[in-house]
Structure 1
Amino acid sequence: MKTFHCNRCQQLVFFENVLCERCNALLGYLPDVGEISAFEPADELPETAQIPQTPQPAETAQTPETATASDKRWRSLHPEAQGQLYRQCHNYAVENVCNWMIPADSPDTLCRACQFTETIPDLTVPENRFYWYKMEVAKRRLLYTLMTLGLPLESRLENPETGLEFAFLESKEDSGPVMTGHNHGRITLNIAEADDAAREKARTELREPYRTLLGHFRHESGHYFFDRLIAGKPMWEAAFRERFGDERASYADALKAYYDNGPPADWAQHYISAYATMHPWEDWAETWAHYLHMVDTLDTAVSYGLALLPDHPQEPELTDQTPVEEASFNNLMSRWFPLTYVLNSLNRSLGQPDGYPFTLASPVIDKLRFVHRIIAASAKKPG
């Protein structure tokens, strides 16, 4: 992800920020521009309105008095939207779980990102608001990457048949456990994944070197885009099966075999993760997620002026590079390996585990190349 700055004082800000730490300007993301903007008030709120600064109790979160806060208009200070008027997303102005803006003349009350969320957690449970916030943060990062790559992206409101939607649910005694997964465009995530302690416990028990909330979003989006970009397209299906195997094989049988026997001993020579060995669908989703990891990490590195293209591994050299989304796959890989070497070396210097606990064997690289081809072929062309 690229870097962002406050347009009022040029302070470096992050994608999730709602307020500039230096000049106190309101910040918001403009999906139509692809930038974080600073804002100034364009009018005054009615006297009854309030803009909550901290999460409010669920039973008062939607009251008419606070709802008027999302009607306040803000003037953008960003050069690409100079003077244009926006409103805060309802989940920004009232719920404090978003920071995206909506054009002032739009009939929508929810921003582009929040329109993808179909079910939110039960907010009568106090900690669920914080988990909801973390879910929305990870979801917006996923959507940012998908939009940047130009992938076809529609909500269920836009396309009831093949649109994408998210349901954030919790396991309960009366309704049973919630399984994170994808089903015909609906991605369900167990909000326990937003609990760092619970997720770390699962990561250790399942022997997963990498388990993050954002990783879950990226993995499940891979299942969605398999249906959208590969399924039913003979050319792509044939190329997919050459690399990943036949997805028509019984998923239930594959799942049972995996949990009964575990992955093959030599899985790292052919797969990005042990879980990818379970079924071709999971191999694809794991590889897709890894590609998104790479794209976003390299884009971040480039935006900070860090691009490693050493002539020799012992002599890294900083050079200017084009944005990763414009680079060829070979160029992407040539930047990825030295960057992960530096990342792991920095972590080891701090006494931490490797930040990149993966090895990429040749068959894995070929699968990543296939993901790259699929995205390049499916991306919307400018203009």
Structure 2
Amino acid sequence: MRNFTCKCGNTLYFANSSCLSCGRSVGFIPEQLTLSTCELIEDNVWLAYADNQHYKPCSNYTKYQVCNWLVPLNQEGEYCSSCALTTHIPDLSRQENVLLWYRMELAKRRLLYTLKKLGLPVWRPIPDKPPLRFRFLEDVKEDKYGNELTVKSTIITGHNNGVITLNLREAEDASRVLMREKMNERYRTLIGHFRHESGHFYWDVLIQNSPWQQSFRDLFGDENIDYMQSLEAYYKSGPPANWQENYISAYASMHPWEDWAETWAHYLHIVDTLETATEYEVALLGYETVNPLTNNGAANPEFDVVYEDWCRLTTVLNALNRSMGLDDAYPFVISDRALLKLRFVHDIVQKQLSA
């Protein structure tokens, strides 16, 4: 993730809605992937210094402060291109839900930033495919007295026909950690959920009925294997004993679709984190870190270069976390087979950029 610069020279971060130095309002311009200092011209009309164009803040920016994206002034509608993708939001009469919704939207915007930089279709129409949409739902049950009570999870995080649904509890740190322990996972994050579920969406868009489908099956397996039977078998017996030899995570062993989604998510982890490292001019063992998201992906380095830098960076990240008594930042070992799958994702993304 890039950092940005205010008109006053102060550093701005992706989530900022104002400059902490000069106090100016700032807004993200998705068409340019830049965060700009803005001047209030009149009610709901902002002038962005980045391009000297007029914008209006997203309605969720002004009403709830859960967004910091801008809308072109001549564009119809009150929502930015990110918030317009969300079809269901939590019950905002519950005050705590506003913060959880903000966390959901922030993680979603980080995902969209990376997808756009990789040249992947998000907003443009995809022939014969449903558009990408998001639902943020919560587990609620009404008792006989009319009171709403939170109960055990009934909202399942997942993807179906272009719609990504996330359980609001994933935005609660304590609930997410509890679920991570219950599921015997070493890694579970909100952005990880978004990246994983987007993988299912892009399997439908990029792999299904495409020239890539046979290559996918050669690497990941036949997706026609019964999904529900695979799911039941996984939760009954767990992953195969040698799963580390073939999969990037235990859950990836459940079904070829999950293998793809886990691999896709890891690829997005890699490119986003490496861009952040280059933004801070990180150099390891005398090597400058490459940026795999340079120029909206048009000048992406070769996969081998990206992976070498990723190995160096995660070795340091894990060592630093251990020094602080924290869990590894990246608790995964990538086998040769899993590496081939990551390369496959890279090749497909590069194909999109050159199309």
In 1, the alpha carbon distance for the partners of 2:127 and 2:140 equals 31
Shift, 1:379, TM fit: 3.0
Q: Deviations for 1:214-248, whole angstroms, at most 9, x for unmatched residues?
A: 10000000000000000011x21100011100000
The 3 A distance-change label for structure 1 pair 161 and 369 is closer
Give TM-score scaled by structure 1 length: 0.86
**What amino acid sits opposite 1:85 in the alignment?**
H
Map 1:248-287 onto structure 2 (within 5 A): 248-287=224-263
State the match for 1:5 in structure 2: 5
In 2, the alpha carbon distance for the partners of 1:370 and 1:21 equals 42
Three-state SS of the structure 2 residue aligned to 1:42 is strand
Three-state SS of the structure 2 residue aligned to 1:359 is coil
**What amino acid sits opposite 2:137 in the alignment?**
L
State the match for 1:59 in structure 2: none
- Checking the alignment, whether the CA contact within 8 Å between 2:271 and 2:292 is kept in structure 1 is no
In 2, the alpha carbon distance for the partners of 1:223 and 1:323 equals 22
Map 1:1-383 onto structure 2 (within 5 A): 1-6=1-6, 8-43=7-42, 45=43, 72-78=44-50, 81=51, 83-154=52-123, 161-173=129-141, 177-233=154-210, 235-308=211-284, 316-319=285-288, 321=290, 323-324=292-293, 325=297, 326-379=300-353
In 1, the alpha carbon distance for the partners of 2:184 and 2:129 equals 37
**What amino acid sits opposite 2:13 in the alignment?**
F
Aligned residues with identical type, % of pairs: 46
Q: What is the count of residue pairs matched by the alignment?
A: 341
Shift, 1:320, TM fit: 6.4
In 2, the alpha carbon distance for the partners of 1:124 and 1:305 equals 44
Shift, 1:159, TM fit: 8.2
In 2, the alpha carbon distance for the partners of 1:317 and 1:92 equals 43
In 2, the alpha carbon distance for the partners of 1:125 and 1:322 equals 41
The 3 A distance-change label for structure 1 pair 170 and 150 is same
In 2, the alpha carbon distance for the partners of 1:182 and 1:322 equals 30
**What amino acid sits opposite 2:2 in the alignment?**
K
- Checking the alignment, whether the CA contact within 8 Å between 1:42 and 1:75 is kept in structure 2 is yes
The 3 A distance-change label for structure 1 pair 112 and 278 is same
The 3 A distance-change label for structure 1 pair 277 and 105 is same
Q: Deviations for 1:353-380, whole angstroms, at most 9, x for unmatched residues?
A: 2111110110000000000111111236
**What amino acid sits opposite 2:214 in the alignment?**
A
Shift, 1:306, TM fit: 1.1
In 2, the alpha carbon distance for the partners of 1:373 and 1:75 equals 40
Shift, 1:319, TM fit: 2.6
- Checking the alignment, whether the CA contact within 8 Å between 1:271 and 1:363 is kept in structure 2 is yes
In 2, the alpha carbon distance for the partners of 1:305 and 1:359 equals 26
In 2, the alpha carbon distance for the partners of 1:379 and 1:220 equals 21
The 3 A distance-change label for structure 1 pair 77 and 177 is same
- Checking the alignment, whether the CA contact within 8 Å between 2:275 and 2:290 is kept in structure 1 is no
Q: Indicate the larger mover: 158-167 or 285-294.
A: 158-167
- Checking the alignment, whether the CA contact within 8 Å between 1:152 and 1:379 is kept in structure 2 is no
In 2, the alpha carbon distance for the partners of 1:140 and 1:36 equals 13
In 2, the alpha carbon distance for the partners of 1:213 and 1:297 equals 15
The 3 A distance-change label for structure 1 pair 257 and 322 is closer
Shift, 1:322, TM fit: 5.1
CA RMSD of aligned residues (A): 1.8
**What amino acid sits opposite 1:294 in the alignment?**
I
- Checking the alignment, whether the CA contact within 8 Å between 1:152 and 1:380 is kept in structure 2 is no
Shift, 1:160, TM fit: 9.4
In 1, the alpha carbon distance for the partners of 2:91 and 2:79 equals 19
- Checking the alignment, whether the CA contact within 8 Å between 1:116 and 1:155 is kept in structure 2 is no
In 1, the alpha carbon distance for the partners of 2:134 and 2:94 equals 20
Structure 1 gaps of 5+ residues are: 46-71, 309-315
The 3 A distance-change label for structure 1 pair 121 and 356 is same
State the match for 2:147 in structure 1: none
Three-state SS of the structure 2 residue aligned to 1:107 is coil
In 1, the alpha carbon distance for the partners of 2:313 and 2:272 equals 13
- Checking the alignment, whether the CA contact within 8 Å between 1:139 and 1:214 is kept in structure 2 is yes
Q: Deviations for 1:42-93, whole angstroms, at most 9, x for unmatched residues?
A: 12x3xxxxxxxxxxxxxxxxxxxxxxxxxx1111112xx0x21111001101
